[in-house]
Every structure is written in C-alpha cells, then in structure tokens.
Amino acid sequence: MLHLALFSIFGAICVAGAVNVLIQRHPINSALSLIAVLASLAVEYLLLGAEFLAAVQVIVYAGAIMVLFVFTIMLLNAGEEERTRGSRVAIVFGIPGMLVGGILVAWALLRYSGTGPVSVGVLPGPPNTIAQLLFHDFLLPFEVTSLLILIAIMGAVVLARGEETPRPATKEQG
C-alpha cells in the first residue's frame, strides 16, 4: 500500500513538472522544472525495482544532461539577463504544491509505515541483468542506435551549414 501511495505521489509530481516545463515562459524555469520531472522519474524506477536505472537516471539525466541544457540556454540567451522576482506560477502553485507534496509523503510514510517493507517490482534491476539484456538480447537495437546518432549528426551539419552556394559552379554557369 505504501508502495502504491509513493508511486502515485511521485507520478503526480512527474506529470505536474512536465506540464510546468511547457507553460513556463523563461527557458531556465522550464529547465529547472525538467529536473523535477527527471528526479521523480528516478524514484519511479526505484519503486519498480530498477535500482541501477534509477541511479543512472540521476547521474546522467538529472546531472550531466541538465548541465548541458542549462549551458546551452545560457549561451543562447547571452546578454539579455534580467532581474526577476521568480515566476508567478512558482508562487501560486509551486510553494503550496511543495508543501502539499511534503505533507502527502510524510502522511503516507506515517500512515503505512507499519504495513511491511516497500516491495520493489519484478523488472530487471541489477546491473549484470541489464548488461545481459543490453549487450546480448538487445544487441542489434543497441548497435543500430549508433546509426541513428550518425544520421542526427549529419542532419545537424547539413542544416546548420548556412546558405553558402557552391561558388565554382555558379561562376561557370553564369
């Protein structure tokens, strides 16, 4: 029961964070909201029994990839820094929301703490099981993903190259 309560609470936080990513005007606020999404997703993984994935989720997504996001936003918005008093959504929904969330978690922990340990799910959790899946059973999708990334890089190069026209051909024809 505690398991279901925790799962629902963090699921709700995750959805609320995702909605907030969309409705925020300032990209930094969206990025910060994304951290909440990724962190609560990590808790969901943990509750499902995928403890290794939960750790990776925190380290790679909430850590490394978020830092990249924030750097990119700061580089793109360079020069237009402004002083704000925080977003209105944060004041209206965020702080009460955090209070409600904290109370809910505390209530769930207190209410159900006597009903036995939190069970974890049946998904493959330990790293050696995941390695077996990734590098054996799902070897082909794993390798094919490298082709997908290669295409994405090519696309970025093609589309970002700018409008330069092939000069020699132009001169000869014109």
Partner 1 sequence: MSGLPQTADYVRILPELVLSIFGIVVMLLEPLFDERRSQRTLGSIALIGSLVAIMASVFQAQNPGFAFWNMVRVDGFSVFFHVLVTTIAAVVILTSYEYMSVQRIRAGEYYGLILFGTVGMCLMSSAVELVLIFIALEISSISTYILAGFRRREAASSEASLKYFLLGSFATAFFLYGVALMFGATGSTNIDKISPALEQSTVPPLAYLAVALMFVGLGFKVASAPFHIWTPDVYEGAPAPIVGFMSTAPKAAAFAVLLRILFEANAPGRFWLIWFSAVLSMCLGNLGALVQTNVKRLLAYSSIAHAGYLLVAFAAAPEVGVSAAMFYTAAYAAMNVGAFAVISHFANAGEKYVTLDDYAGLGRRSPVLAATLTIFLLSLIGIPATGGFFAKFYVFSAALKADLVGLTIIGVINSAVAAYYYLRIIVVMYMRESREEIPVRGIPLGLGTALVVSLAATIYLGVLPGRVLDYALASANQLMQTPASAAAATVNPGR
171 binds partner 1, rule: CB under 8 A? no
At 50 the three-state DSSP class reads coil
Question: Between 67 and 152, whose beta carbon lies closer to partner 1?
Answer: 152
Q: How far is the CB of 159 from partner 1 (least distance, A)?
A: 6
What SS3 string covers 97-130? HHHHHHHHHHHHHHHHCCCCCCCCCCCCCCHHHH
Between the CA of residue 34 and those of 50, 70, 107, 128, 154, what are the distances in Å? 21, 11, 26, 29, 28
Query: Judged by CB, which is closer to partner 1: 107, or 142?
Result: 142
Residue closer to partner 1, measured from CB, 83 or 171: 171
Element (H, E) at 36: helix 27-47
Site residues (CB under 8 A) for partner 1, limited to 94-153: 136-141, 144-145, 147-148, 150-152
Number of residues that bind partner 1 (CB under 8 A): 27
Q: Looking at beta carbons only, is 25 or 173 nearer to partner 1? A: 173
Site membership for partner 1, residue 22 (CB under 8 A):
no
Structure tokens of 124? Answer: 């493959």
The token pair that represents 23 in the structure block? 């409705």
Residues at the site binding partner 1, with contacts judged by CB under 8 A: 136-141, 144-145, 147-148, 150-152, 154-155, 157-159, 161, 163, 165-166, 168-170, 172-173
